[in-house]
Structure 1
């Protein structure tokens, strides 16, 4: 049996309520909602506005904050036209990727308004 067949055999039908329950974050990213307010208060960097920089964030933290910022973006706009941005960059320590005590990659996160 091919892997595709194995995957196909795991198919299940679930209700929309079960789907929402399984996909919900259970508040994990909502505790980062305050970063939306940070983004809203920024002036456009094209007009000399500032960029907020955060350090030593894990992938999970970066993802949760980015999800909050992306909720500010009008869904009709394509990626190139996003007004609110949250971008990351790997932290380095002597040329090597910087990690925390759990071995997780650490990042800088930049929040700005285009």
Structure 2
């Protein structure tokens, strides 16, 4: 039994098989790299959780100095500003969007409908 050379087996199937093997190798290496990257990311997240507390505590001095810019205000000592006005003196704020004087114009479609006389054929 001799190999029929009318159908070129080696010229078609060998490159196809090589291409499939190359695709499988690339797929496997990409998955391995993705798994390694994911493990590194999860490890860095775990390390960050161990190193830092879950609640951030703002440091606050126990006895603030008198010249400190960040001390709590003492409203009983402030005499620089006048007291706020009473509720009867307060006015409404002006409207940001003034309502129009008249209603908007009626809607007109951008493309007029064809009339029924032009659609009838003669």
Fold match (TM-score > 0.5): no
Query: For the superposition of Structure 1 and Structure 2, which TM-score range results when normalised by the shorter chain?
Result: under 0.3
The TM-score normalised by the length of structure 1 is 0.19
Higher RCO (CA-CA < 8 Å; seq separation 6+):
1
Which is higher, the Rg of structure 1 or of structure 2? Answer: 2
The TM-score normalised by the length of structure 2 is 0.19
